[in-house]
Structure 1
Amino acid sequence: MERRHSNVSLQALIDDALAETPPGRVVWVALSGGLDSSLLLTLTAAACRRHPRPIHALHVHHGLQVAADGFEAHCRRLASRLGVPLFIERVTVDQTAGLGLEGAARQVRYAAFSRRVAPGETLWLAQHRDDQAETFLLAALRGSGVRGLAGMPPGREWQGRHLVRPLLARSRAELEAEAVRLGVRWVDDPSNADEAFDRNFLRRSVLPLLQSRWPHAAQALAGSAQRAAEAELLLDELAHCDLTAQGGDPARLPLAGLRALAPARRRSLVRYACRRLGLAPPPSARLENLLIQLEARHDARVRLDWTGAEARVWRGKLYLRPIHATLGVGWCTEWDGAPPLPLPWGEVHMGLAPADGRAVRLTLRARQGGERLRLAGRGGRDLKRLLQELDVPPWERERLLVAWHDQTPVAALQPDSLRWVAVAEGWQASIGRG
């Protein structure tokens, strides 16, 4: 990437990036008001005059300092001068969430991105090569593996949106020189001078010292991040092969197959399976603890959790799953059977209706025990025995929901995996995308 673009002007770089975006789709530019994003928006607006694309700017107002209103005012002036529609997202940063100030701000910022940027659209971020070098150093100092050392990718899919960093291969010095040449104005965030933040300390004290001895330090560190990213791709390919050999289901990994792998491949497969499921991989210490517990006797009830996820062992399989919200005692809801189905943690696109299509009123409540369903061709079946036949894990049986019509159970739903376990004779269930 860097070698290919080293002799290309920044404007040509942005023109090329814009030309590669799908025609007619909105390109958003995340605009903080600082040097990098102000220049990126300026170059993008110029590119749009040659390669017409709808372009919007998005400013996230964190409200963390008095200067925040000044950032917003600058963004409004810049967007107005460039003729770019600007959207403001005001957020509240929860500093008690245990993520640290920077982590909490990043979390609400990306939540704001997902609210404003529609799936299929593109969001441009203004990080550059020096940012990548800092990210690599931070990851190394935290003892990260290859994935952490890979830093920020130049582009990736995120929740159905395209995140692109078109300036990632260029240095901050290049960006500043171009901004000065074009007369671009920007605002400096006062918090960037606070070296109590790790990234600021690296930027202001560590990297300049490294560059005084090794002038190309930032370029070299960013290059190492790129090679780590290539190594991560190879590791993912190997983990994909291992997953396929284990049956291809990332949520259920056979213990026998896991135990047959070398420890490094076992760790890689569990991390890869978690990412495939949209779960945070377990921290190193948790992962090592989990691998030790995989050697437990066959009937052991193994359970281990970490941020937003958990692992369980049952009947020779390792189950990886999100931690779901609990249902309150006595929870129930009335429902007409038409999608969507309201659950405490959100609506899901599921339906249940009589085969004759008549309107009904259903009650959905937690399984109590003793329910029986009349199944087509099988007659009355005890739900408990049916769950055993279907190999439903015990923790999912405990969370099963039963749909009732006129005091008669007509269907059983697994809310965690969003599937109908059983549907009574004369009834039709559906599941699909909202």
Structure 2
Amino acid sequence: MTERRIAVACSGGRDSMALLHATVRQAAIDDVQVIALHVHHGLSPHADVWLEHVEAQCARWARRGLPIAFAAARIVERPARGDSVEAWARQARYRALRELAIAHGAEIVLLAHHRRDQAETFLLQALRGAGVTGLAGMPGRIMRDGIIWQRPWLERPRADIEAYARRHRLKYIDDDSNTDPRFARNRLRQTVWPALAGAFEQAEATLADSAAWAQQACAVLDEVAAHDLAQAAPERELIISRWVALSPARRGNALRVWLRRGLSTAAPASLIERLLAELPKARPARWPVPGGALRAYRDRLSFLPAAASPIARPRETSLSVQRVGRFSLPGWGGTLAVARVKEGGVPLAWLGRLELQPRVGGETFQAGAGRPPRSLKKQYQAAAIPDDERAGPLLYSGTQLVFVPGLGIDARVVGFPGQSLVSLAWLPDSSAR
């Protein structure tokens, strides 16, 4: 039988030490192994002391026969200039906790946030002008990146945790950075919260309740967005005309959820506002987003991943194709795929000596038998081929244009049934992979 394991994120402070102690006591009854996870940020001169404290406490409990082990990670990188230290530390901490949990076979990580933390989060988000998603605060349980993150004390008042720590005489460390007024949460705790709690005795409970209501509202909005996107974005692309047909409120909601799916994170409010204003009438157009760009072309909005910086290579100028298969052309950033077909293809004999040339202007392409040759620009526009799908070499046999990426085989070289015919397709490196 596989040993059951659960992890507890433990900084060494009062809340996390109390949660670790309570979890270990229950784990001894339920036959569960507990892994205490500690992240050493390296931001405080006391960080080594905190790590040693948690490790020593875990060792003492283990000597008493309690089912506990200790694991730690050190973060060696530092926040970039201009980064929020709070945000950077939080992201780095969760990445490290996830890696530790996976390395030690734990699928659940417990976090020690309580009701006061939730109330503070609600206030901070409101002061930052957050929408419903921000006001929802922290979820009690969520699956993210293959790990279940659970906050079992999220509905418990801070006073309960303080009483638990006193009752069991737990030793913990006070983080000196908790008094640093540069951090917004510290300013809230030191100056705003005492006055708020003095004027409104139930502030902690009522603000946490408001966060819970916001979570329910988020769930409803996600359901509405899922219904709207089933029509407006049945695949990965957003169909702009169907999206515009929604009411303004549902349009904004659907766009937020669609962007969150594509970006794997909440989109900046500035991007959403810009798209709501520009997207209904802007085509073609592009908007930069993390990891790439958004492209509006014809009636579609799609994500374009950022292209890796290619290594400069000389472009191939000739190619001999005497069989089916794939022919890599790294200088052009892609691969030519050649496949056997019974009709509609070019005779293989045409491909024995091909010249590869870039588009320079003035080229004409015949899209079908009996149709007049037209300029590549007009043919691309008629076929609705976006600019970034027009890259790749033009293939010539002598002076005759044979193949154009995005458009296909020129009708003037299409062979007859019974000949040895092949199809041609251009695969950019991202597609070839």
TM-score of the pair, normalised by structure 2: 0.74
Residue aligned with 1:281, SS: coil
- 1:113 alignment counterpart: 97
Match 2:28 to one of 29, 49, 53: 49
3-state DSSP class of the match of 1:50?
helix
- Structure 2 residue 318 is the aligned partner of structure 1 residue 365: no
User: Does 2:179 match 1:193?
Assistant: yes
Matching residue's letter, 1:274: L
State the secondary structure of the residue aligned to 1:123: strand
Q: CA deviation at 1:172?
A: 1.6
Is residue 340 of structure 2 the alignment partner of residue 376 of structure 1? yes
Q: How far off is 1:126 after superposition?
A: 0.8
- Residue number in structure 2 paired with 1:100: 84
**Residues 242, 230 of structure 1: CA spacing in aligned structure 2 closer, same or farther, 3 A cutoff?**
same
Quote how far apart the aligned CAs of 1:98 are. Answer: 3.7
Is residue 395 from structure 1 mapped to residue 388 from structure 2 by the alignment? Answer: yes
Which position in structure 1 is the counterpart of 2:37? 58
SS in 2 for 1:117: helix
What is the Cα-based RMSD across aligned positions, in Å? Answer: 3.5
Given candidates 265, 268, 273, the residue that maps to 1:283 is 268
**Secondary structure, in 3 states, of the residue corresponding to 1:261?**
coil
2: CA distance, partners of 1:123 / 1:289: 38
Deviation string 1:164-214 (CA, Å, 9 cap, x unpaired) is: 111111122110110110111100000101122100111122111111011
Matches of residues 13-92 of structure 1 in structure 2 within 5 Å?
A: 24-83=3-62, 84-92=68-76
Q: Secondary structure at the match of 2:29?
A: coil
SS in 2 for 1:320: strand
Provide the C-alpha distance between the structure 2 equivalents of 1:396 and 1:108, rounded to a whole number of angstroms: 37
The answer (yes or no) to whether the contact 2:6–2:32 under 8 Å persists in 1 is: yes
Tell me how far 1:275 sits from its aligned partner: 2.0
Equivalent-residue separation in structure 2 for 1:272 and 1:40 (angstroms): 34
CA distance in 1 between counterparts of 2:313 and 2:106 reads 41
**Deviation readout 1:351-391 (Å, 9 max, x if unpaired):** xxx999xxx9x96736358x753223154599999997997
CA distance in 2, matches of 1:397, 1:143: 43
Matched, 1:171 2:160: no
Deviation at 1:267, TM superposition (A): 1.3
Distance change in 2, residues 1:329/1:355 (3 Å): closer
Counterpart in 1 of 2:318? none
Gaps of 5+ in 2: 63-67, 316-322, 360-364, 368-378, 394-404, 406-422
| 1:341 counterpart residue number | none
- Partner in structure 2 of residue 269 of structure 1: 254
One-letter identity of the residue aligned with 1:290: L
> Displacement of 1:397 after TM fit?
5.7
Q: Which residue of 1 aligns with 2:124?
A: 138
In the other structure, the counterpart of 2:414 is none
Whether 1:316 and 2:299 are equivalent positions in the alignment is yes
CA distance in 2, matches of 1:396, 1:281: 28
Summarize the alignment of residues 226-265 of structure 1 with structure 2, pairs less than 5 Å apart: 226-249=212-235, 251-265=236-250
Give the count of matched residue pairs: 362
C-alpha distance in structure 1 between counterparts of 2:2 and 2:215, whole Å: 29
Letter in 1 for 2:261: R
Is the partner of 1:326 in helix, strand or coil?
Answer: coil
Larger Rg: 2
Q: Distance in 2 between matches of 1:397 and 1:74?
A: 61
Distance apart, 1:287 and its partner CA: 1.4
Note if contact 2:336-2:426 (Cα within 8 Å) is conserved in structure 1: no
The answer for unaligned runs of 5 or more in structure 1 is 1-21, 333-353, 403-408, 421-430
Cα distance in structure 2, aligned partners of 1:398 and 1:279: 28
Secondary structure, aligned partner of 1:229: helix
Change beyond 3 A, Cα 1:365–1:214: same
> CA 1:368/1:63 → structure 2, altered by over 3 Å: closer, same or farther?
closer
Contact 1:35 1:188 in 2 (8 A): yes
